[in-house]
Amino acid sequence: MQIQDILAIAAICGLMGCGASSPNTVQNSKAAIPITNLSELNFQEEYSIRSAEYGTETKVFFKEGYRIMKTNALPNHPTGTFPNAGNPNSISAQDLSYRFPLEPKLSGESKWAREPGVALNGVKFEPETAERFVCETGEVYRIEAFQELVDLGLDFNHAHVQPTGAYHYHGVPKGLVEALDSKEDIVLIGFALDGFPIYYSKSNKYKPSYQLGKELRTGDACSYRNPKHGMDKVLKDTRPDGTFVSDWEYKEGLGQLDECNGIELDGQYAYFVTDEYPYMSRCLKGVFKEERPKGPPPGHRHGHHPPPHHHPHPHRQ
């Protein structure tokens, strides 16, 4: 069975990406991802992405010093099946608008961001989750997206769905990387809220600077609860293994990337999404304003326990 490839229209250049067909795939977490070509688009300029197959509607234009993105946030590539055993939510169209400065400026500090950036197709990046273990002794352990303790229903794009229907990436957006069909190692995949670009290196050229901590955990009578199920776990005197945000620590110089998973390239600061922790920026170094969501917090399974607004990683050497 054949599916129509993505129709991508470049608003400035007047280019049209012809729809070369690719085979359909079973929509589950182990499905192969077909390649769709967006390589004719210059994403540093104004552009539009429309997909009859996936319903994607994303338009980017420039206005008053900003890169404006209007999007329904539907991905332009296959996804896993939702709802699933670990994620009870269905993907639905959103009505979102983002502004990225065309001339980004460093702020001189690293500031935590819940949603640090947006992919070129309008799907947001959100590295952390709203899930957590709470201990009677006061400790709160925020659960990472990539771990084996709690099933969060991630698909092959390292993504899942919030109760609002918003599909979002926690790691490398593999379907988008394939769709871009870049022959280069360094692929532009999005923009951070501060305006700096977000890249992915297919060769894993730039390494993060995080490692597992050595201090044993504390906390008695720790529990995880959501409306579907819960569990209790003894965390006191256990070793960090990557399950929780606090298991990780930043060590300057361990890799090429800084605490925000960024680096200066050819005189410009940029962020990288990586195959290794922290997977994507947990903080931003440029000037930005993060809009707070309306209504209840957008937790990943059931909307419980939003993370506090601060930089989550101790800068221990």
For 233-283, the pLDDT digits (tens) are 999 999 999 999 999 999 999 999 999 999 999 999 999 999 999 999 999
Tokens 């361990």 correspond to 254
Phi and psi for 176 in degrees, rounded to 5?
Answer: -70, -45
Sequence-ordered strand ranges (E) for 44-101: 47-50, 57-63, 66-71, 96-101
Q: Is 43 helix (H, G, I), strand (E, B) or coil?
A: coil
Q: Report the run of H or E that residue 223 belongs to, with start and end.
A: strand 222-225
Q: Which two tokens stand for residue 55?
A: 């319903």
Q: Which two tokens stand for residue 166?
A: 């918003």
| Residue 170 zone, left/alpha/beta (φ > 0; ψ -120 to 50; rest) | alpha
Q: Give me the numbers of helices (H) and strands (E) for the chain, helices first please.
A: 1, 24
Global pTM value: 0.83
- Profile the chain (317 residues) by mean pLDDT over runs of 10 residues: 38 34 33 56 94 95 98 97 96 98 98 97 97 96 97 97 98 96 92 98 97 97 89 96 98 98 96 98 95 46 34 33
Tokens 């129709």 correspond to 7
Q: List the domain boundaries for the chain.
A: 2-286
Q: Enumerate residues 6+ apart whose C-beta is below 8 A from 49.
A: 6, 8, 9, 38, 41, 56, 57, 58, 59, 76, 120, 121, 122
Q: Is 176 helix (H, G, I), strand (E, B) or coil?
A: helix
Residue 181's pLDDT is: 81
Tokens 């999005």 correspond to 190
Residue 3's pLDDT is: 36
Q: Is the peptide bond before 278 cis (omega within 30 degrees of 0)?
A: yes
| Neighbouring-strand partners of residue 272 | 199
Residue 292's pLDDT is: 61
Taking the CA atoms of residue 72, residue 104, residue 281 and residue 71 in that order, the dihedral angle to the nearest 10 degrees is 0
> How is 270-286 classified by DSSP, letter by letter?
EEEE-SSTTSS-SEEEE
Q: Distance (Å, rounded) from C-alpha 278 to C-alpha 126?
A: 11
Q: What is the mean pLDDT of the chain?
A: 84
Residue 37's pLDDT is: 57
